[in-house]
Amino acid sequence: MLRTLFSARVVVLHLLAVGALVVCGLLGRWQLGVFEESGKPQSLLDPPPVAVATLTAPGEHLTADKVSRRVTAEGTFDVSKQLLVAERDGGLWLLAPLDLGDGTSIPVVRGWVATAGDPAVTAPAEGRVTVSGRLRPSEATDSVQRRVRQLPPGQVLTVSSAELINVWRGTRLRDGFLVATAQSPAPAVAARPVSVSPPTEPGGLTWRNLAYAAQWWIFGLFAVFMWWHFVRDALRGRTRRDPDAPSPAGSTLGDPDAPSSAGPDGPTSGDAAPGAGPGAEPETSALPARTAP
């Protein structure tokens, strides 16, 4: 048996089965990884920053392809209209309108503070500044929560253009708002920058890759089955060809259809000549006897 299992032809079968199993397993795992990655949000190209006026306009909604784009804005902050956006990561956002000098303004989240008494809240932001950041769409307002919650004066719950128009009367706002990541010149006391993710698109599971993974694993199992089938046939063929293989008990060596020389009363001492009766003499040799010289 071991001689058959380690013969050259069967060893080749062993190697082919192992190779097929490894290759099919790795290919199946690769397709499964592609399937898992397809469900994650996919990062889009992050174009270089452009002027905020090229992406926004008064009275026009911010489209999805402009969300999270990097922009720059030059203007002057109206700190007298600064607001605090409550319930933001355990703290507050500093929100102020940036006058772009063309009769329009855009809300800018200047940063994050832990409390309303933080020095960055009252730090002046005078003069013309250049703000870099990412563009975000206007948030939806929650009128029910606003009626339940009684916020202190100067605080809001959302950054909504529809709400800010009523708060900042006389200000012509562009849709959306800018989350500042840098400001030049920097204020004397700066708030902590608010992190915002680059533009992404929602992922969609590619079930086709999951089917490919299952197919590769099925191919690997089929290779194992074929290996077992060929090895079994090789062992059976050796058993049929091996003359030293033990015969089952009670079997007759040679031709099983050959008649036995034993009679019903036991084995005979010799074969009688054809036609000889029970009293016939045994047949003698036809050669003459050799005489002595």
CB 134 within 8 A of CB 178: yes
Write out the two tokens for 281. Answer: 């003499």
What pLDDT does 85 receive? 92
70: left (phi over 0), alpha (psi -120 to 50) or beta: beta
Write out the two tokens for 272. Answer: 């009688």
What pLDDT does 276 receive? 46
CB 35 within 8 A of CB 206: yes
Q: What is the pLDDT along the chain (293 residues), one digit of tens a residue?
A: 666 666 777 788 788 888 888 999 899 889 888 888 776 655 556 788 899 988 988 888 888 888 888 999 999 998 889 999 998 988 999 999 999 999 999 999 999 999 888 888 877 677 899 999 999 998 887 654 555 567 888 888 889 888 898 889 888 999 999 999 998 888 878 888 888 877 665 556 678 888 888 999 898 898 888 888 888 877 777 666 555 544 444 444 444 444 444 444 444 444 444 444 444 444 444 445 444 44
The Cα–Cα gap between 153 and 83 comes to: 9
User: Computed from CA positions of residues 156, 159, 160, 165, in that sequence, does the dihedral angle turn out positive or negative?
Assistant: positive
What pLDDT does 220 receive? 87
Write out the two tokens for 114. Answer: 């832990």
Q: Taking Cα atoms as reference points, which of 259, 277, 64, 30 lies closest to residue 176?
A: 64
Provide the 10 A C-beta neighbour count for residue 171: 17
The Cα–Cα gap between 130 and 132 comes to: 7
Q: What is the pTM of this model?
A: 0.54
What pLDDT does 61 receive? 86
- The identity of residue 217, as a single letter, is W
What pLDDT does 149 receive? 65
What pLDDT does 226 receive? 86
